[in-house]
Structure 1
Amino acid sequence: MRKARGLVQKGCKAVQDLNLLKLLQSEIQHELSSDPFPTSRSSSLGDFVVEWDSPQTQDVVLRRKLESGEEVAVSAMLGPISPWAADKEDSLYPRHGEMKICVKKPGLSSLLQFDCVILEDGYGFRIRDCYYLHSPARIGPSVYRGRCFHDLDSKLRSALKGYLAAKGIGEELTNCLLHCLHKKEQGQYVNWLHKLESFVAKAAKPE
């Protein structure tokens, strides 16, 4: 009787594994055949080059060196899922982007840092905060970073956004970044599904 019960349990587990395997294969096929994030018409990295884009991480780092010798570094990753995105019929992306921009003058250790949010395709980006960092290696909680960006004069806020635009930070770049980040996450999800499929397939094989 104990042996029969063991065989029944093994049989049930095999059926469950096979059902899970079919579901995983169906999900993989769906992800590979669909394109939920079509490339925007106004999507380009411009003069920026990709410095870091590891398939094992969530972030992407871009860099550009201007003729003046200034260096502009951009790092970006996806933010949390927007709870209201699913309710918007025209919403293309379920998540916004978190972007950090650093501008450094040649021969100086100081830099300007901008913390930004990449908005939905077609809306560009919004600056959250702007900092002047005398020495990035010596940043601490007591270092004064300036007033909150939304407390600054509206003309100054507009001028700072124009300053970034002159460095190549515009809607084309942010559209491209948001697209690339979502495609990267989709690729990581498919890779995870493949690993799970392989694990379940081995468990479902009869001994």
Structure 2
Amino acid sequence: MARVTNVLRRAYKSIEDLDLLKILESELNHELSSMRFQNEKMGSFGDFVLEWDSPKSQDVILRNKCSSGEEVAISALLGRDTFHEDSRFPAEALLKICVKKPGLSSILKFDCVASNRGGGQPDFHIQNAHYIPSSSSLNSSIYKGPSFSDLDPLLQHELKQYLAARGIEEDFTNNLLLYLHKKEQGQYAGWLQKLKDMMDRT
């Protein structure tokens, strides 16, 4: 009886594995046939250089050293929220932007969100703007200033213009959104392929 039970258990597992394999194949075929971002032409990041982009992580780091000597570093990844299928990009990009003046240890840090839900101009919002006395205090509990939405509207506008003057404008955010979506789609298809290959070997 125990032998029969073991045979039935193995047979049931084989059926489950076969169903899972079929689902994986279906999902992989769907992804490969609808790689809409992979066929879109990438523009440039302007003066920014892609400094770090690991295939094992979701984020990227870009850096620009301006002619004035200022350094601008950006860490970006896709957010979890998704929009409607008709959106230009189904997810928004979360950006941390740090600006450092030459000869100073202090940093201006901006937490931003970039999205493009339609065919028009991308939406770019600054959620927080912080003055940080030195790079060593990035994660400290010092007072970093009021909420960005509480600032004077004219100051909010000028801070957006400040970032735009450093290359963080419409073309840059659109190209960054496209790059991050391509990266995520490629990673997901690669993960499905590895899972399918593993199931094929069992």
TM-score (norm 1): 0.86
**Which residue is equivalent to 2:102?**
106
Task: Report deviation, 1:194.
Answer: 1.8
The one-letter code sitting in structure 2 at the alignment partner of 1:20 is L
What pairs up with 1:127-138 in 2 under 5 angstroms?
127-138=126-137
Distance in 2 of aligned mates of 1:97 and 1:187: 17
Task: Report deviation, 1:46.
Answer: 1.1
Identity, % of aligned pairs? 50
The one-letter code sitting in structure 2 at the alignment partner of 1:133 is I
Q: Which has the higher contact order (CA 8 A, sep 6+)?
A: 1
Over 3 Å counting, the alpha-carbon distance change for 1:132 and 1:39 in structure 2 is: farther
The one-letter code sitting in structure 2 at the alignment partner of 1:155 is L
Over 3 Å counting, the alpha-carbon distance change for 1:30 and 1:40 in structure 2 is: closer
Over 3 Å counting, the alpha-carbon distance change for 1:41 and 1:2 in structure 2 is: closer
2:55 is the alignment partner of 1:55: yes
The one-letter code sitting in structure 2 at the alignment partner of 1:61 is I
The answer on whether the counterparts of 2:35 and 2:185 sit within 8 Å (CA) in structure 1 is no
Task: Report deviation, 1:163.
Answer: 0.8
Over 3 Å counting, the alpha-carbon distance change for 1:11 and 1:41 in structure 2 is: closer
The answer on whether the counterparts of 2:106 and 2:132 sit within 8 Å (CA) in structure 1 is yes
Distance in 2 of aligned mates of 1:138 and 1:58: 25
Task: Report deviation, 1:125.
Answer: 1.0
**Which residue is equivalent to 2:149?**
150
TM-score (norm 2): 0.88
The answer on whether the counterparts of 1:75 and 1:100 sit within 8 Å (CA) in structure 2 is yes
The one-letter code sitting in structure 1 at the alignment partner of 2:13 is K
Distance in 1 of aligned mates of 2:169 and 2:42: 10
Task: Report deviation, 1:81.
Answer: 2.0
State the secondary structure of the residue aligned to 2:187: helix
Task: Report deviation, 1:7.
Answer: 2.5
Instruction: Figure out how many residues of one structure are paired with residues of the other and give that number.
Output: 198
What pairs up with 1:70-85 in 2 under 5 angstroms?
70-82=70-82, 85=83
Task: Report deviation, 1:41.
Answer: 7.6
RMSD, aligned CA: 2.1
